[in-house]
Structure 1
Amino acid sequence: MTLGTLPAQITDYANRADPYPLYAELRRTPVRREADGTYLVSTYYEVRNLANDPRLSNDTSHRSPGYARIGQPNEETGLPPSFIFTDPPLHDRLRDTINRPFGPPHSPRFLDDLRGDLTKVVTELLDAFEGKDEVDIVDDFSYPLPVTAICKVLGVPREDEPRFHGWADALASSLDPQAGEDGLEKAQRARRELGTYLTDLIETKRRHPGPGMLSALAPEMTPADLEATAVLLLVAGHETTVNAITNTTLTLLRHPDVLARFQREPALAVPLIEEVLRYEPPVQFVPWATALADIDIADTTIPKGSPVWLMLAAANRDPKRFPDPDRFDPDRKDNEHLGFYTGIHYCFGAPLARMELHVAVAELFRRVTFSRLLEDPPPYRANAVLRGPRHLPVAIEGLTA
């Protein structure tokens, strides 16, 4: 993207703390063509319709050279693309297979059985706040929890969890359309290291099954497909949930009236979290789709072969869909947001993410007495796609049991 274009401004770190004025400008042209042939779709109904349109592809083989690196198979390992970067029927077969050990109807108690483990981790993380007057919500709370959850889902030994933190960070950088060569090389190196680790672990699980998805799926999938799936779940299950927990914390601390009400009314958690997912979604846009045919939408024709960015965060604040969209309102009705996307690529891990959010946020604000934000806005992560604070330093006054 050339400097000065709206996509360049959106991906520019200088605008990471508040990209929403740019999204408002973007919505003035619901389907906008950039000079390089990329189409940006930013209004709610257009984004939702295209996300459900089979003429829009996630298949990596259809991408133009400038987008080929995002989600592509690792040439050195020969791994296939993760199922999120495939189309039906392959996508449907892989997703259906992966879903069997993850939840209903085949494994209806899978997530409920995780709740106790997650609650224990949250309790341990909050216990460590004792005696402190300042904490970093990211480093001390929201960052450690999701990697523990996804390792538990996969069946990774607890002692290996610290290695997954670094791998998740590096791999997430490959989803950023503005990632430099250093970031992409770092991601490839992480994928090689993770691939070696997973190859050994999958073989171990195949010979000696235990708890977790890797054991359950080892007889159902090829080692390459299972490894690619595990890589995807690590990124999707970690980075997005870190951002969701941190964005929720920041939003509540910026809205003390809502926070006070939440502490009086714990049942507010459900609509409150859904409103955060609309208001500050952890995935801001999807920049890897390709038109398989000419698509007529909003008085515009997107030509076959064109790269398409679906701007989820812009759509979530479309005033034609959400009244007074820049207002944080947990009482909002009909809140069918796109925070977890929509269509066949709707977030596979949404039920797990919601459970992590409910456990983490409820306990955080039940036990911790906050004083103030120490930086507002806080420093943000470099990634424009998976947007969230890199640190969230806060002053606290106390901790209850």
Structure 2
Amino acid sequence: MGIVDLGEHGADFTANPYPYYARLRASGPVHQVRLPGGGECWLIVGHEEARAALADPRLSKSPASIGALMLDEQVVGPYLLVLDPPDHTRLRRLVAREFTARRVEGLRPRIQRIADELLDAMVPAGRADLVDALAFPLPIIVICELLGVPAADRDAFRAWSNEIVAPTGPESERDAVHGLAAYLDELIEDKRCSAPAGDLLSALVRTRAEDDDRLSAAELRALAYLLLVAGHETTVNLISNAVRALLAHPDQLAELRADSGLLDGAIEETLRYDGPVETATLRFTATAVPVGDTVIPSGQTVLVALAAADRDPKRFPEPDRFDVRRDARGHVAFGHGIHYCLGAPLARLEAKIALHTLLTRCPDLAADPSAGPYDWLPGVLIRGVRRLPVRW
């Protein structure tokens, strides 16, 4: 089979890529494709093969392995998603000591207060864009407070972040990366010169490993960049995708309302059924790598389609059915292996609090019939909609 042009399907692919992934998967777990935004790569669509690829050290995360350099890496610096061991191991160790399960669980009361305040403002109106009213502000407030970003800077950060994960054009993407990098330099310098504070970025400025290793200025900037962008964009779309799936499946929404104990299952099923990350970030073949019966040559770019893997019928029976009672364990929505998402516990906690609070406060929640078609985020990285109009 030659190169499969996914871009020829236009807006239909962006709105619902799953049938296209299913057709690819039916003829093999990996294909050479042309992406909707341009560019060619090898796309892995089978669950078993995706899980193996995510943990395969022969698939490098560093563009330098094939003589390339990403825009954000060039401007911001090397961050965890473009590094291989031992550099990745060192940096992840330094941040993991601060990004602990205990710290995340300690955020629960504050996340609940934020959700309550957002719903206090939203509920009296009787209708809202759920992205703007809840799904975006909740995680952005949490990650900004966690890292010590001033409240007055959040709107500027939102514009930069949106452009980086779903760029509208090369020039605007470049401007956003440069703008955020310059902002982070100022923020980090302020943390260095200030009295020790309780936020994560202040802790990272001062953290040292047992061997006195510490983060350089460039590493700090790159780490803050990753945590700020990845630390909220995925959660925005996890929350909105969950609500969108529940509204599209009223029987499942009714089951969840009848038994709040199904909430964790509903979140895991959302992650499997329509997760916020459609494809994992790029990987590269420094040597030839076999995937199934196909050998991907050296010097190639590889994308693991998480969305396709989690609809593989070999792993999940009736994969196109949304079922909050399903055992969705084994999904790869947060990745797998050494690059498994560091913020997965925080994303799950935020989604659980957001959904529980929303469904409690809005018992008649429904899609707004006057809203028109969804405005889907472009590209194949983040899966979600720009707006989610609802009423109650």
Same fold, TM-score > 0.5, yes or no = yes
Determine the C-alpha separation between the residues in 2 that align with 1:356 and 1:381: 21
Conserved? CA contact 1:205–1:214, under 8 Å = yes
Return the offset for 1:194.
Answer: 2.2
Return the offset for 1:360.
Answer: 0.4
Residue of structure 2 aligned with 1:149, choices 138, 142, 146: 142
Residue equivalent to 1:55: 58
CA RMSD, aligned part only? 2.1
Determine the C-alpha separation between the residues in 1 that align with 2:67 and 2:257: 50
Conserved? CA contact 1:155–1:212, under 8 Å = yes
2:8 is equivalent to residue 13 of structure 1: no
Return the offset for 1:370.
Answer: 1.4
Residue equivalent to 1:380: 376
Question: Using a 3 Å threshold, how does the CA distance of structure 1 residues 159 and 273 change in structure 2: closer, same or farther?
Answer: same
Residue equivalent to 1:349: 343
Residue of structure 2 aligned with 1:184, choices 170, 178, 182: 170
Residue equivalent to 1:250: 244
Deviations 1:297-328 (A, max 9, x none): 21111111111111111110001111111111
Determine the C-alpha separation between the residues in 1 that align with 2:40 and 2:386: 32
Determine the C-alpha separation between the residues in 1 that align with 2:22 and 2:135: 29
Determine the C-alpha separation between the residues in 2 that align with 1:136 and 1:31: 38
Question: Using a 3 Å threshold, how does the CA distance of structure 1 residues 339 and 42 change in structure 2: closer, same or farther?
Answer: same
Question: Using a 3 Å threshold, how does the CA distance of structure 1 residues 241 and 84 change in structure 2: closer, same or farther?
Answer: same
Determine the C-alpha separation between the residues in 2 that align with 1:297 and 1:131: 54
Determine the C-alpha separation between the residues in 1 that align with 2:341 and 2:108: 20
2:283 is equivalent to residue 289 of structure 1: yes
How do 1:1-400 residues align onto structure 2 when only pairs under 5 Å count? 5-9=4-8, 12-28=10-26, 29-34=28-33, 38-63=41-66, 68-69=69-70, 71-74=72-75, 79-104=76-101, 108=102, 110-173=103-166, 183-207=169-193, 208-219=195-206, 220-286=214-280, 288-333=282-327, 335-368=329-362, 369-374=364-369, 375=371, 377-396=373-392
In structure 2, give the amino acid aligned to 1:393.
Answer: P
Return the offset for 1:385.
Answer: 1.3
Return the offset for 1:287.
Answer: 5.1
Return the offset for 1:129.
Answer: 2.1
Farther off after superposition, 353-362 or 234-243:
234-243
Determine the C-alpha separation between the residues in 1 that align with 2:128 and 2:170: 31
Return the offset for 1:127.
Answer: 0.9
Deviations 1:12-44 (A, max 9, x none): 433222111101011022121348873211100
Farther off after superposition, 35-44 or 210-219:
35-44
Question: Using a 3 Å threshold, how does the CA distance of structure 1 residues 322 and 341 change in structure 2: closer, same or farther?
Answer: same
Determine the C-alpha separation between the residues in 2 that align with 1:147 and 1:63: 35
Conserved? CA contact 2:269–2:328, under 8 Å = no
Residue equivalent to 1:176: none
Determine the C-alpha separation between the residues in 2 that align with 1:197 and 1:69: 20
Question: Using a 3 Å threshold, how does the CA distance of structure 1 residues 392 and 154 change in structure 2: closer, same or farther?
Answer: same
Determine the C-alpha separation between the residues in 1 that align with 2:295 and 2:180: 42
Residue equivalent to 1:399: none
Determine the C-alpha separation between the residues in 1 that align with 2:259 and 2:279: 33
Question: Using a 3 Å threshold, how does the CA distance of structure 1 residues 329 and 312 change in structure 2: closer, same or farther?
Answer: same
Secondary structure of 1:218's aligned partner: helix
Conserved? CA contact 1:60–1:81, under 8 Å = no
Return the offset for 1:160.
Answer: 2.4
Percent identity for Structure 1 against Structure 2: 39
Determine the C-alpha separation between the residues in 2 that align with 1:96 and 1:20: 36
Return the offset for 1:330.
Answer: 1.8
In structure 1, give the amino acid aligned to 2:139.
Answer: P
Return the offset for 1:156.
Answer: 1.4
Secondary structure of 2:74's aligned partner: coil
Return the offset for 1:63.
Answer: 4.2
Determine the C-alpha separation between the residues in 1 that align with 2:276 and 2:5: 20
- Using the size of structure 2 for normalisation, the TM-score is 0.90
| Number of corresponding residues | 376
- Using the size of structure 1 for normalisation, the TM-score is 0.88
